[in-house]
């Protein structure tokens, strides 16, 4: 019982922190799509924190979100997100 309560409490804290975040992503084509889909599940802080990723790595990350975590992103939207992240938060490698 304690684990259920503790887990619910942690999720509540995470949701509160997420709701209060004030991250502004770089302007660019696809920003709104990335904000909408990425921000629906996790903090947008992860995007600039991972700016060392190249295009292939961003492709893998987006695929992981879809396949492993069930993010409801169709292929056309995934391409928009990958293009945006690669251009604005990509390492260029």
- State the 10-residue block means of pLDDT for the chain, 93 residues long: 47 47 91 97 95 97 97 98 97 80
Number of other residues whose CB lies within 10 A of the CB of residue 90: 20
> What pLDDT score does 4 carry?
52
Instruction: Please report the pLDDT score of residue 17 as a whole number.
Output: 46
pTM (two decimals): 0.76
pLDDT at 92: 80
- Write down the CATH superfamily of domain 24-89: Cytochrome c-like domain (1.10.760.10)
Q: Are 34 and 47 in contact (CB under 8 A)?
A: yes
35-48 pLDDT per residue, tens? 999 999 999 999 99
The set of residues, in sequence order, having a beta carbon less than 8 Å from that of 90 and lying 6+ positions away, is 51, 53, 54, 55, 58
């Amino acid at each position: 019982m304690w684990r259920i309560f503790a887990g619910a409490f942690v999720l509540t804290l995470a949701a509160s922190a997420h709701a209060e975040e004030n991250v502004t992503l770089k302007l660019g084509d696809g920003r709104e799509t990335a904000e909408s889909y990425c921000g629906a599940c996790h903090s947008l802080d992860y995007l600039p924190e991972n700016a060392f990723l190249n295009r292939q790595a961003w492709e893998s990350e987006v695929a992981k979100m879809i396949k492993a975590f069930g993010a409801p992103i169709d292929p056309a939207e995934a391409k928009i997100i990958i293009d945006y992240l690669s251009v604005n938060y990509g390492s260029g490698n």
